Amino acid sequence: MSLPGFSAFVSLSKLDIIMLPPPPPPPIPPPKPPSCLDLCPDFCGGTISMCKKLRDPFGVYHCRQVIGPCLEGCRALCMHGCDNGRICGFRCVDTNKDKSNCGGCGIQCKAPEGGSAFCKGGICQQKCDQPGFMVCGDKGKCTNIKSDLNNCGHCDTPCPPPIGGTPKCVGGICEVSCSLGYTKCGSACVDTLTDNNNCGGCGRSCSTILSGSTCVSGQCQCPSPTIPVEGRCIIHP
């Protein structure tokens, strides 16, 4: 005789009946990772054909469906690792190249005004669409360094205003436009009627023409009471 759930054991020597406990149940196998085909119907209204399991270049399994209302939920649950990148926003991305996740998730590279942005080595970079332009200023604006007075030839390189004229940037080089009554000598605007280094014309230095003289009405003249003698201004003996 045996009780439910027990087995009987009869000893031949003593004819004793020993009731043994039942054997343990077999181990429960670990659950298998869910697949997109198992999970997506919960989000997509039970329509398995709307989701497909695909493998992207980084080795991530995710769900993709046609009409889109349950896509993010499928992607989140179907993620199976990221072999060569980092998971950002339900996607596996290369943070060395992805301009929306440059160097880390959510770090977006901002494009400058008149240009574009890209990610290189996990660092945001900017470039201008037109040749001859550079990204200048704190706000990141593409600037024509060939003509901009504050960024002439390079960012933060201003053209200073000259005496007797106005500055201009031509081909990335600071130049001047002289006002009426001034003459351009080199990079400066001078009054050749009074300038001792450009008296009567550019490069005419009174110290060379007549030592001790000054420029008066475009001529190097000795100041009173001196007189010119052999290229010098001396006091008359």
Q: Say how many CA atoms lie within 13 Å of 198 toward its Cβ.
A: 14
Summarize pLDDT for 111-155 with one digit per residue, the tens: 998 999 999 999 999 999 999 999 998 778 999 999 999 999 999
Task: Say whether pLDDT at 4 is over 60.
Answer: no
The pTM assigned to this predicted structure is 0.51
Summarize pLDDT for 81-103 with one digit per residue, the tens: 455 667 676 567 788 999 999 99
